[in-house]
Amino acid sequence: MTSAQMTDTPITDLAPMKLVIVGHVDHGKSTLIGRMLHDTGSLPDGKMEAVKAMSDRRGMPMEWAFVLDALQAERDQGITIDTTQIFFKTSARPYVIIDAPGHKEFLKNMVSGAASADAAILVVDAKEGVQEQTRRHGYILHLLGLDNVVVAVNKMDLVDHAKDRFEEVAGEVHKYLGGMGITPAAILPVSARHGDGLANKSQNMPWFKGDTLIAALDALTPKPLPVELPLRFPVQDVYKFDERRILAGRIESGKLSVGDTLLFSPSNARAQVQSIEAWSVDGPVLSASAGQSIGITLDDQLFVERGHVASHESEPPVQTNVFRARIFWLGRAPLEVGRRYKLKLATLEHPVEVQAIERVIDVSDLSERPADRIERNEVGEVVLRARAMLSVDEFTANPRLGRFVLIDGYDMAGGGLVSMDGFHDLRRANAPTSQNITAVETRVTTDARWAANGHKSGVLWLTGLSGAGKSTLALELEQALFRKGWQVYVLDGDNIRFDLSADLGFAPEDREENIRRVGEVAALFARAGILVITAFISPYRSDRDRARAVAPDLFHEVFVNAGLAVCEERDPKGLYKKARRGEIAEFTGISAPYEAPENAEVEIDTGALSLSQSVEQLLGYVEANFRTGAG
Amino acid sequence: MNHLDSLEAQSVYILREAFNKFDRLGMLWSLGKDSNVMLWLAKKAFFGHVPFPAMFCDTGKKFPEMYAFQKEYSVKWGLNFIRRDCPPIEEIDPTLPPAARSAARKTEALKRLIAELDLQAVIAGIRRDEEATRAKERVFSPRGENAEWDFRDQPPEFWDQFKTDFAPGTHIRVHPLLHWTELDIWLYIQREGIPLVPLYFARDGKRYRSLGDMDITNPVSSDADTVEKIIAELRATKVAERSGRAMDHEAEDAFERLRSAGYM
């Protein structure tokens, strides 16, 4: 905004700064707000009289907190139960005050209030100093990325307006907030009940040379909208009310223009913005930026749905199925390893499983301890895993796509911030990079091939630990079927590594690429009428799901199941021994995870069955599903 | 983006979330300034369409100008308009103070409408700055089977993630205007040229600042007969918007009780 606009725009038309008031219970948050409203002339006529009457009725002196505590129970108990919002203005700008309850059991309400704030006032009782909720709220501010903090050391009248005491408390606050990397914009002594140091300079503390609270607030700069960050346009919905197919959503960061090529994650499909649609505006809209709720049409009718994220091709979000997160837990039941929750990140919704709890943080002294659960109102660090690729950002890189909530049953049970520390971005451009390519249709259909072969084709995807018997089983089955005259071929893990995937290692992103290639090749074979048997450990569900997605109607997952102990004892290639000696990094089952299938079409227990029994079982499945006329 | 742009964008986001999450959704259209702004925002959100019914619980005691307005604009705006009569006062809790009891007829009508249309959610145009209990509201506010509001145990709501997963029997109120102030509403009416019931504009030194039933709404002294003059008046006034609404002031907790029981 230019200065010319500034002077032309009345104060009341500026966007208000959202201010959350936090601090320990009874340190005087509601009183401070009530008095601040009064001292800035923001109370409506009659409000003071009403509050006085309420106070009189209860036989108490003028209770400023009644200005805010709207509920009967709040007034009777003298506490704030739920967050409330109230509007006021100074000569510099309007504000929205978000009053957050101080009681521990109302943390969810405090977070609800604080998460949308631009800045915070932390209220600390001069007599009591930093208390448990001071620390907890300070930590939550830090966690929410709210670093615009003004500290009001309140009730200075109760400590005889002593400079020494103020400096002592200020030192305590500095130390705690500093430990989290927050430097308060100001720390001021006030006496809220008497309006001392709020809008008016204190008469009782001539030793304090700093600002009044109001002046300190007016000096804060609101955070700008993230227009300069890379584009993130999460699709909220797809509308077809009329002839237009409109992708609706809010731009969370960056900007887009008509004609831009957008990359949609996780599908990696690309299309150009054909128009930005709007109702009741003058002229066409040619561009839009962070914060705007818009609708666009594309030049290509891609499959796009809620939760997909549009970006520019050069700066896409991270793609991953596993990430680390800082969590604050509000749920009635504790967060536990192995439990599943629904993750909601922008408009994306997807189930995730808690793979690990790395630590729980004690917010009273910032110490950390290992734990297997995070209780209500605790903060901790966890690893979450999803079955599919999710599009996210590091919270520090882009808060808008780096924060999420977890739903437990019907309830919003926690909030978290994404960290990719120790994990890879698994994005691979699996859309063609070549230009000028056009798909051709073959004239020989798969059905015709099946008729000629006398059997159907498909992919039998064998997955299991190393040593579970995948290759042995695959080769036996291939031979048995070949003898019957079937078109059959084995793609084996080790063989592929000599040629098609000779350039890849065993890091998660290399494994992902390896499986992607095998999935594509297997699907080609299957369409050619051949029954393909693949033998790959393929430890990640998401990778197998992607292989399935290449030819979903032809894909059959076979879980070759033998326990780790059995496989390690067999150790046909001596790899487990090497892995145990630490000579192989990231060995599945030892130092890298194996995610067993959840809905495999067949499970063969090679730990219990003999080889011939196993082959027998698999042959039975093939006969039942691939013989022409079957299945 | 200026302030009105961001208010509009946020409301549009909320309306789209509601539309995505609920198959059976309705919007309350009280014919007042706020609900006209809300309908306007729906047309913005859905590109000229209002893809759910606009519902009006009729006390039978609205001003004639309001009925005329309703007739004209339910056609002009292409609304799926649904009107239902409120039940008579005799069917309402007799322990409520008289004005609150009268207002509670609307709550009862709404409950019946929700049951009749089997609605999962109702969009209502309340604002935080109107009244202290409304200031505590959530954007997506769950209600019990009897429409009651448990203000002691509201779901967390942050980063625009709202409660959208429910046990059967839960009902939701959606509040897309919660973050607007009265002045914002008028500035937006001015910017967008949104039509209004003429009672808001001063005649013979009086105008209505808030429109309810004829018998429980009082005009304020004012000479503001244009949107511009109303905005100028609001910039200067310190009189509460709902001071002309009797039911807010009968007892210390009169309005709180009404709202807990399901009033908008």
Radius of gyration of chain A (CA): 31
pLDDT digits (tens, 9 = 90+) for B105-123: 888 999 999 999 999 999 9
pLDDT value of residue A5: 37
Identity of the residue in B44, B132, B161 whose CB atom sits nearest the CB atom of A405: B161
Confidence of residue B77 (pLDDT cuts 50, 70, 90): very high
For residue A600, the SS3 value is: coil
Q: Do B9 and A293 touch (CB under 8 A)?
A: yes
Q: What is the DSSP letter of A160?
A: T
What is the C-alpha separation between A187 and A118, in angstroms, rounded?
Answer: 18
Cis-peptide into A61, omega within 30 deg: no
Beta-carbon-side half-sphere exposure of residue A592 (alpha carbons within 13 Å): 20
Phi, psi of B207 (to 5 degrees): -150, 160
Q: Which of B46, B141, B159, B184 to mutate to test the interface with A (most CBs of A within 10 A)?
A: B159
Q: How close does chain A come to B117, measured CA to CA in Å?
A: 22
Number of residues in chain B: 264
B170 vs B57: which has the higher pLDDT: B57
Contact B16, B160 (CB under 8 A): no
pLDDT value of residue A567: 92
- pTM given for the model: 0.76
Confidence of residue A194 (pLDDT cuts 50, 70, 90): very high
Other beta carbons less than 10 A from residue A332's beta carbon: 9
Confidence of residue A9 (pLDDT cuts 50, 70, 90): low
Contact A144, A136 (CB under 8 A): no
pLDDT value of residue A11: 59
- Average pLDDT score over residue span A96-103: 72
pLDDT value of residue A103: 61
CA–CA distances in Å: residue A412 to residues A434, B19, B23, B158: 44, 20, 21, 10
pLDDT at A44 over 80: no
Confidence of residue A7 (pLDDT cuts 50, 70, 90): very low
Chain A contact for B238 (CB, 8 A cutoff): yes
Q: What is the DSSP letter of B91?
A: G
Secondary structure (DSSP) of B155-177: PP-BTTB------TT-EEEE-TT
pLDDT at A625 over 80: yes
pLDDT value of residue A104: 58
Q: Which of A279, A273, A282, A269 has the alpha carbon at shortest distance from A241?
A: A279
Other beta carbons less than 10 A from residue A485's beta carbon: 10
Contact A380, A360 (CB under 8 A): yes
Q: What is the DSSP letter of B86?
A: P
Mention every residue, 6+ apart, whose C-beta is less than 8 A from residue A83: A98, A99, A100, A101, A109, A110, A112, A113, B136
- Within 8 A of A109 by CB-CB distance, chain B residues are 154, 156
Q: Do A115 and B192 touch (CB under 8 A)?
A: no
Token digits of residue A325? 């997160």
> Where does chain B have alpha helices with state H?
3-21, 33-45, 64-76, 98-117, 182-192, 227-236, 254-260
Mean pLDDT across chain A: 87
Based on the number of CB atoms within 10 Å of its own CB, is B32 exposed (0-12), middle (13-18) or buried (19 or more)? buried
pLDDT value of residue B251: 60
What is the C-alpha separation between B117 and B169, in angstroms, rounded?
Answer: 14
pLDDT value of residue A81: 47
Kindly state the helix (H) or strand (E) to which residue A427 belongs, with its residue range: none
Token digits of residue B196? 């209004």
What is the C-alpha separation between B21 and B170, in angstroms, rounded?
Answer: 14
CA dihedral A175, A171, A417, B14 (to 10 degrees): 180
Residue A119's identity, in one-letter code, is A
Identity of the residue in A12, A71, A291 whose CB atom sits nearest the CB atom of B1: A291
* Partners of A98 in beta bridges: A20, A85
Mention every residue, 6+ apart, whose C-beta is less than 8 A from residue A46: B240, B243
pLDDT value of residue A503: 84
What is the C-alpha separation between A621 and B150, in angstroms, rounded?
Answer: 56
pLDDT at A595 over 60: yes
Kindly state the helix (H) or strand (E) to which residue A451 belongs, with its residue range: helix A446-453
Find how far residue A370's CA is from the centre of its chain: 23
Mention every residue, 6+ apart, whose C-beta is less than 8 A from residue A258: A273, A274, A275, A276, A284, A285, A286, A287
A405: left (phi over 0), alpha (psi -120 to 50) or beta: beta
Judged by average pLDDT, the poorest of A39-43, A64-68, A150-154, B254-258 is: B254-258
Q: Which of A81, A87, A235 to mutate to test the interface with B (most CBs of B within 10 A)?
A: A87
What is the C-alpha separation between B246 and B264, in angstroms, rounded?
Answer: 16
- Average pLDDT score over residue span A167-193: 93
pLDDT digits (tens, 9 = 90+) for A224-258: 889 999 999 999 999 999 999 999 999 999 999 99
pLDDT digits (tens, 9 = 90+) for B170-190: 899 999 999 998 999 999 999
Chain A contact for B240 (CB, 8 A cutoff): yes
Q: How close does chain A come to B60, measured CA to CA in Å?
A: 31
Contact B205, B233 (CB under 8 A): no
What is the C-alpha separation between B199 and B196, in angstroms, rounded?
Answer: 8
- Within 8 A of A63 by CB-CB distance, chain B residues are none
B252 vs A258: which has the higher pLDDT: A258
Q: Do A248 and B45 touch (CB under 8 A)?
A: yes
Identity of the residue in A70, A306, A411 whose CB atom sits nearest the CB atom of B135: A70
Mention every residue, 6+ apart, whose C-beta is less than 8 A from residue A350: A307, A342, A343, A386, A387, A388, A390
- Within 8 A of A15 by CB-CB distance, chain B residues are 2-3, 6
Contact A96, A5 (CB under 8 A): no
Secondary structure (DSSP) of A79-131: S--S-EEEEEE-SS-EEEEEE---SGGGHHHHHHHHTT-SEEEEEEETTT-S-
Q: Which of B197, B204, B196, B198 has the alpha carbon at shortest distance from B220?
A: B204
Phi, psi of A241 (to 5 degrees): -75, -30
Judged by average pLDDT, the poorest of A72-76, A268-272, A380-384, B93-97 is: A72-76
pLDDT digits (tens, 9 = 90+) for A388-399: 889 999 999 999
Q: Do B240 and A44 touch (CB under 8 A)?
A: yes
pLDDT digits (tens, 9 = 90+) for A516-529: 899 999 999 999 99
CA–CA distances in Å: residue A328 to residues A102, A122, B166: 16, 19, 22
Q: What ipTM goes with this model?
A: 0.93
* Partners of A150 in beta bridges: A121, A186
Identity of the residue in A86, A241, A411 whose CB atom sits nearest the CB atom of B135: A86
Quick one: three-class SS letters along A27-82? CCHHHHHHHHHHHCCCCCCCHHHHHHHHHHHCCCCCCHHHHCCCCHHHHHHCCCCC
What is the C-alpha separation between A54 and A49, in angstroms, rounded?
Answer: 9
Chain A contact for B165 (CB, 8 A cutoff): yes
**What is the number of CB-based contacts under 8 A between chain A and chain B?**
160
Chain A contact for B168 (CB, 8 A cutoff): no
List all residues of chain B from 66 to 125 with a beta carbon under 8 Å from chain A.
none
Q: How close does chain A come to B128, measured CA to CA in Å?
A: 7
Token digits of residue A577? 């021994």
pLDDT digits (tens, 9 = 90+) for A397-432: 999 999 999 999 999 999 999 999 888 888 764 445
Judged by average pLDDT, the poorest of A120-134, A365-379, A472-486 is: A365-379
Q: Do B192 and A85 touch (CB under 8 A)?
A: no
Mention every residue, 6+ apart, whose C-beta is less than 8 A from residue A540: A321, A508, A511, A512, A515, A593, A595
Contact B156, A412 (CB under 8 A): yes
Portion of chain A with pLDDT greater than 70, in percent: 91
Positions of A marked active-site: 538
Q: Which of A124, A125, A158 has the alpha carbon at shortest distance from A138?
A: A124
Q: How close does chain A come to B9, measured CA to CA in Å?
A: 5
Contact A487, A454 (CB under 8 A): no
- Average pLDDT score over residue span B184-200: 96
What is the C-alpha separation between A10 and A120, in angstroms, rounded?
Answer: 25
Residue corresponding to tokens 């895993």: A385
pLDDT value of residue A129: 95
Other beta carbons less than 10 A from residue A572's beta carbon: 12
Q: Do B2 and A15 touch (CB under 8 A)?
A: yes
Mean pLDDT across chain B: 89
Confidence of residue A3 (pLDDT cuts 50, 70, 90): very low
For residue B81, the SS3 value is: strand
CA–CA distances in Å: residue B223 to residues A25, A105, B226, B231: 47, 50, 9, 12
